[in-house]
Structure 1
Amino acid sequence: MSTDTGAGVAPSDDAPQVSPRRERTRERLLDAAFEVFSRVGVQGSSIETICDAAGFTRGAFYSNFASKEELLVALVTRDMRARLASLEGVVEELDVTAVEGSTVRPEVVRTVFAAVMGDPDDQRRFHLVQTEFELMALRDPEIGQRYQAQQEQIRGELLEAMRRVFATLGLRFVIPDREAVDILVATYLFSAQQAFFVRGEDPRATALLEPVVRLLATEA
């Protein structure tokens, strides 16, 4: 699974410095949690199971996370930020013109989608974790507040990333940026879900994403 240093809050200049050793501990706990959550579910797992998988004690866990739910938020945030990094990275490496006429080339959409998706099996397992997080948020008001805060934070980071991406590609949205990004995210999630049900590359995964991008984006 791709890693990032996010832990549920955006880094700031005055944030306390995390030692390399503690950072490695956090990453191992997050990696272990991903394996455990994707195998037996968030609610079906325990802190002890996660600690055993990471090779740490409960003390190491609680020195980094206050609860299993806090770890879950950090895990989802880390994955989302890794996808944003992949998005911006692949756009910087594109060697073709993104726009043909006034519309985005389909091959550009497919290339970006594949880069953000990453390993299909890895992303399928993460989708299981993310879906359970959503269900927990719907059932538990306290978790729901954490979920909403995390989603709003990532939404803001995604909006800024998309503005940078569009500037690099020489594109602009034809409707307000925030609404356009919300539509793209919803379409991406639906397209990604379709890809999880097949093995290997499936052209249907971007069948809806491509026309939506063409409708929302045009040459700047």
Structure 2
Amino acid sequence: MKKINKAEITRFSREETQQRTRQRLIESAYLLVAEKGVEGTSINDIAKGAGYTKGAFHSNFESKEDLILNLLDQHNDQIAQSLLSVVKKASTDFDSALAAVSSWIQDYAMDRHLALLSTELYLFAARNAAFEKEYTVMMDRHRHTYADLLSYLFNLAHIRLPESPLKLANSLITLVRSSAVDKALYGKVTDDNAIALFINLLRGYKPTRDA
């Protein structure tokens, strides 16, 4: 068994410390940007919120936008892993999987900080051309996560989707974003059944006139 020398231990410790620092800065930005917006949040605010100096920030990120892109990438990855976990736990039964995913999406839309953050980054990308390029690449990957999920769900029931999974994923993301904005503004979602209805409509669900 190879022995780890002191230099390697020091390097591992330094890397772990840097990773913790980066993560605390990202978590600080997550809360601050959600509440104050990108423009209203300074590098000093982020560093102070994490318990560090501006020097620590600049040792880990090139700019505020660089940190926010790292935050977005991490956030999207967490969503993908969480959705994958939900689907795996729901077994191969279509109705169970559909109910589990629908419930997950609605719960996601209920998180106020996530609602504010996702909306803020969407608007910031529309105003900042340099940020928009990176944001678009990351969100394209995010759309494919939803598209793969829809494909998997409806393959379970051998149901052919009426449109391409990616187009439907765009619609689903728009609906989730709208629900998130409702939650952020009013403390509730205007129509908390909209997401479930959207998914059910894809499999041929038709509400009665009295519904």
TM-score between the two structures when normalised by the length of structure 1: 0.70
Partner of 1:7: none
d(CA) in 2 for partners of 1:92 and 1:37? 33
Residue deviations 1:144-175, cap 9 Å, x none? 22322222232234434544555567665343
Residue deviations 1:12-69, cap 9 Å, x none? xxxxxx9333222221111111122123222111111111111122232223221111
Q: How does 1:199-218 map to 2 (within 5 A)?
A: 204-206=191-193, 208-217=194-203
d(CA) in 1 for partners of 2:171 and 2:91? 27
Q: Secondary structure at the match of 1:205?
A: coil
Structure 2 residue runs of 5 or longer lacking an equivalent are 1-13, 205-211
CA-based RMSD of the aligned residues comes to 3.1
Distance 1:98-1:126 versus aligned 2 partners, 3 A rule: same
d(CA) in 2 for partners of 1:119 and 1:135? 19
Partner of 1:193: 181
Are residues 1:129 and 2:117 paired?
yes
Are residues 1:115 and 2:111 paired?
no
Question: Following superposition, which runs of at least 4 residues in structure 1 exceed 6 angstroms of deviation?
Answer: none
Are residues 1:32 and 2:19 paired?
no
Partner of 2:59: 63
Partner of 2:68: 72
Distance 1:167-1:81 versus aligned 2 partners, 3 A rule: farther
Aligned length: 190
d(CA) in 2 for partners of 1:61 and 1:159? 36
| Higher RCO, 1 vs 2 (CA within 8 Å, ≥6 residues apart) | 1
Q: Secondary structure at the match of 2:60?
A: coil
Distance 1:198-1:65 versus aligned 2 partners, 3 A rule: same
Residue deviations 1:118-138, cap 9 Å, x none? 4766x2222222222222222
Partner of 1:5: none
Structure 1 residue runs of 5 or longer lacking an equivalent are 1-17, 100-104
Q: Does the aligned pair in 2 maintain the 1:83–1:117 contact within 8 Å?
A: no
Q: Secondary structure at the match of 2:41?
A: coil
Q: Secondary structure at the match of 1:85?
A: helix
d(CA) in 2 for partners of 1:23 and 1:55? 15
Are residues 1:140 and 2:128 paired?
yes
Are residues 1:49 and 2:45 paired?
yes
